[in-house]
A and B are shown apart, each in its own frame.
Chain A
Amino acid sequence: AQSVTQLDSQVPVFEEAPVELRCNYSSSVSVYLFWYVQYPNQGLQLLLKYLSGSTLVKGINGFEAEFNKSQTSFHLRKPSVHISDTAEYFCAVSDSGTASKLTFGTGTRLQVTL
């Protein structure tokens, strides 16, 4: 069975500093990987996704993530964060099997301060 681990429940960072949100997954087959963002009192929206091809994926708002198959990771990065990036970030994995499902991690709260 597939699973997703987001080791950091909270990540505090100062504005304009770089940030990395970690995501590790386990699956026995090929996977699709996603990062979703949830701003306060809103639903989730897609930040970026990896389906195939280049392992470096660029998303909205300057975020990017790198798929590392050997380390089964899909860490999210941004070189310089803004106050407006304060939100909850969810990593999710879906395997490519016909009986697959989408599994979400428990989320990482990114808190950006001045």
Chain B
Amino acid sequence: NAGVTQTPKFQVLKTGQSMTLQCAQDMNHNSMYWYRQDPGMGLRLIYYSASEGTTDKGEVPNGYNVSRLNKREFSLRLESAAPSQTSVYFCASSESHPAYSGNTIYFGEGSWLTVV
């Protein structure tokens, strides 16, 4: 019963380094998301993929890139990490894009990223 699995759980990066957060879901969901969570700001959408083969910017896409590798996997890449990207990152999925039918979003357990 894995649901949404994301790796790594913890990572410390130096400014300017790059890294990729991996995410996979086993629920045969069409839509996947990357959020960041910062104190006092709730969750903000970075990028999403409404269906396999499509990706779209969310609320805070600058400094990030994504790849929908297949229906199961959706990765988030930081090309040149900055201290402002220190955050908790959540991958999530839903049966389809929630805009159309109020679908439930299922979240992974989070990845704690610190950029020094």
Taken residue by residue from 84 to 114, chain A's Cβ proximity to chain B (1 for < 8 Å, 0 otherwise) reads as 0000001000111111111011110000000
Number of interface residues of A (CB under 8 A): 26
Neighbouring B residues of A34 by C-beta, 8 Å:
102, 104
A-B contact count (CB 8 A): 58
Main secondary structure of the interface of B (DSSP, over half): mixed
Are B99 and A43 neighbours in the complex by a CB distance under 8 Å?
no
For B44, B102, B107, B108, which residue has the most chain A Cβ atoms within 10 angstroms? B102
Are A49 and B43 neighbours in the complex by a CB distance under 8 Å?
no
A45 CB–B CB distance under 8 Å? yes
Known: A97-B99, A98-B99, A102-B99. A42 touches B109 (CB 8 A): yes
Neighbouring A residues of B105 by C-beta, 8 Å:
36, 44, 46, 102
Are A94 and B42 neighbours in the complex by a CB distance under 8 Å?
no
Which of B42, B100, B109 is the one whose CB lies under 8 Å from A107? B42
Are B99 and A99 neighbours in the complex by a CB distance under 8 Å?
yes
- List 23 A-B pairs, Cβ < 8 Å: A32-B102, A36-B105, A41-B110, A42-B109, A43-B4, A43-B108, A43-B110, A44-B43, A44-B107, A46-B104, A46-B105, A49-B104, A51-B102, A94-B102, A95-B99, A96-B102, A98-B99, A99-B99, A102-B45, A102-B98, A104-B42, A105-B42, A106-B41
Measuring CB to CB, which residues of chain A are less than 8 angstroms from any residue of chain B? 9, 32, 34, 36, 41-46, 49, 51, 90, 94-102, 104-107
Given A46-B104, A102-B105, A104-B42, 16 more pairs with CB closer than 8 A: A34-B102, A43-B90, A43-B107, A43-B110, A44-B90, A44-B92, A44-B105, A49-B104, A51-B102, A94-B98, A94-B102, A95-B99, A96-B99, A96-B102, A102-B45, A106-B42
